[in-house]
Amino acid sequence: MNNKNILKFTSTVGIVVFFALLIPPIIGFFYGENVTTYFLTMFFLLCLNGAIFYLLKDHDFTLSVKESIISVNLIWILLGVAGAIPFVLQVNLNIWDSFFESISGFTTTGATVFSDIEALPHSILFHRSLTHWIGGMGIIVLGVGLLPLLNPNGSLSLFKAESTGISIDKISPKIKDTAVKLWMVYALFTFSNFLLLMIFGMNWFDALAHAFSTISTGGFSTKNSSLGYYNNSDAILWTTTFFMYISSLNFIAHIKFFMGDKRAYFHEEFKWLTAMLIALSLGLAFAHVSNSNDSFYTALTHASFTIVSISTTTGFATLNYETWGNVAVMIIFFAMILGGNTGSTAGGIKSIRHIIFFKNIFFEIKRSIQPDTISSIFIDNKEIKNSTIRSVFGFLSLFTMTIFLTMAYLYARGLDEMSSISTAISMVGNIGPGFGLTGPAENYGFFTWYDKIVLSIAMIIGRLECYTVFILFSFSFWKKF
């Protein structure tokens, strides 16, 4: 393993990240905030990473599988530290709360320790949403898009270590070209969302911050009541619902659609997710109507927003859905384990894994009835390899185990059953709000510093989809590569 490879890559990503993190203090300056120390600190860290990169500029760069996986894990820890600095400098938040808030931002979880968000400086509000936007498509994919600076051939192994889903679907011969196209679509959606939110009544600052959080499926808001602040504007709620939805779809499909492929979305994963969102939204709307005096349209507006927000792991809220009754809570629990499509900014299990899981169950039931039957699992008329099925079930096992361990820890720490299980699912699934003590009307500020470390680790494991983290504990990984 060549440490210079890791150092050169992390410094490259650091240059991009700290350049981006210069923007919040600049915005703070225009709002009359004291951001001198903030700006100079980010500028110093940008120069430090630039100096490291310059010293290694003549170093030949090719990441191995081991170096890629170590780089990915290291980057997320360093991001947590880097993103925590502004909270310490600007609002005197302690390092553990700052680290938790930073990890929550970059992993697009959206859980917060702040009780009064509207009291925060504009620079910090923008910083929170910007961490979402950077982490949404994946900081490593951003790095892969910049790999021509380092390695003309790009780095497939690095893309594999960071990309979500069970496979990689390229639309360009080189991974770096795919990454650049992904970011172009990502930026287009962000600008479109920003423009529509302004048209429908948000000021430019709130519109941009919410666009960052929406397209990244993050969930940080500039308001204490999240999108509930805009409950008088159905246009804003439905616009946000739409953009959360399209951000939960495969971005490769978006690229193909813009390149002229009119059937880019005609695949099973898209149909599964869309059908589930419609079914859960209707179910939640009926549950809400039965527990309120709202009209069905109003109930459908908030139910659709809630289901899409939770399913896509965004975590915005318009109302306190915990008050909608037990049936509503059950439906939202289903939404929490749904997740988006492969190759989206959404976290969670991902729809393709649900499809493979249920198809394999039906296949095994059929084979138990007819042992001599020779059959296979097909998705979009393509046979699914046994290795892929094993990978899916392995992921589900690790995902469930991580949730169970997090839940057991929280329960042992004194949380009630509902708070423990929902918080564990929320952290590992990168959702944000849970139920009970971490419900949509609550925050994570009451946890101790060591609780926040555990929860931060859970968020990183979920963001990197388990394998990338747990492989570090495998002796064969260190021996083989």
**Distance from C-alpha of 432 to C-alpha of 332, rounded to nearest angstrom:** 13
Out of 41-55, 106-120, 196-210, 254-268, least confident range: 254-268
Mean pLDDT over 195-201 rounds to 97
- Residue 189's H or E segment, with its range, is helix 175-199
Residues 6+ apart with CB under 8 A from 360: 377, 389, 392, 393
pLDDT, position 292 = 84
State residue 249 phi and psi, 5-degree precision: -95, 165
Mean pLDDT over 473-480 rounds to 81
Q: Which one has a higher pLDDT value, 168 or 342?
A: 342
**pLDDT for residue 151 is more than 70:** no
Q: Are 450 and 39 in contact (CB under 8 A)?
A: no
**Residue length of the chain:** 481
pLDDT, position 169 = 59
**Distance from C-alpha of 277 to C-alpha of 291, rounded to nearest angstrom:** 21
pLDDT, position 368 = 84
pLDDT, position 163 = 58
Domain parsing of the chain, residue ranges:
3-223, 377-480
pLDDT, position 142 = 63
Q: Which one has a higher pLDDT value, 62 or 74?
A: 74
**pLDDT for residue 387 is more than 90:** no
DSSP SS3 for 379: strand
Where does the pLDDT of residue 291 fall: very low under 50, low under 70, confident under 90, or very high at 90 and above?
confident
Question: DSSP secondary-structure letter at 216?
Answer: T
**pLDDT for residue 168 is more than 80:** no
User: On the CB side of 277, how many CA atoms lie within 13 Å of its CA?
Assistant: 28
pLDDT, position 85 = 97
Where does the pLDDT of residue 182 fall: very low under 50, low under 70, confident under 90, or very high at 90 and above?
confident
List, in sequence order, every residue forming a beta bridge with 379; answer none if it has no partner. 382
Mean pLDDT over 19-25 rounds to 96
Single-letter code of the amino acid located at 3:
N
Mean pLDDT over 318-327 rounds to 91
Give the model confidence (pLDDT) of 238-252 as tens digits.
999 999 999 999 898
Residue 238, Cβ density class (10 Å: 0-12 exposed, 13-18 middle, ≥19 buried): middle
Single-letter code of the amino acid located at 173:
P
Out of 26-30, 151-155, 237-241, least confident range: 151-155
Single-letter code of the amino acid located at 407:
M
Which residue has tokens 């059959």? 375
Q: Which one has a higher pLDDT value, 480 or 35?
A: 35
**Distance from C-alpha of 399 to C-alpha of 397, rounded to nearest angstrom:** 5
**pLDDT for residue 444 is more than 80:** yes
Out of 55-64, 304-313, 344-353, least confident range: 55-64
List, in sequence order, every residue forming a beta bridge with 382; answer none if it has no partner. 379
Q: What is the CA radius of gyration of the chain?
A: 22
Helices H / strands E in the chain, number of each: 21, 2
Give the model confidence (pLDDT) of 342-371 as tens digits.
888 998 898 989 999 999 998 888 888 887
**pLDDT for residue 166 is more than 90:** no
Where does the pLDDT of residue 386 fall: very low under 50, low under 70, confident under 90, or very high at 90 and above?
confident
pLDDT, position 456 = 97
- Rounded to the nearest integer, the mean pLDDT of the chain is 89
* Cα dihedral: 31, 36, 38, 44 (round 10): 140
**Distance from C-alpha of 238 to C-alpha of 177, rounded to nearest angstrom:** 33
Helix axes 23-30, 36-55, angle to 10 degrees: 160
Q: Which one has a higher pLDDT value, 6 or 170?
A: 6
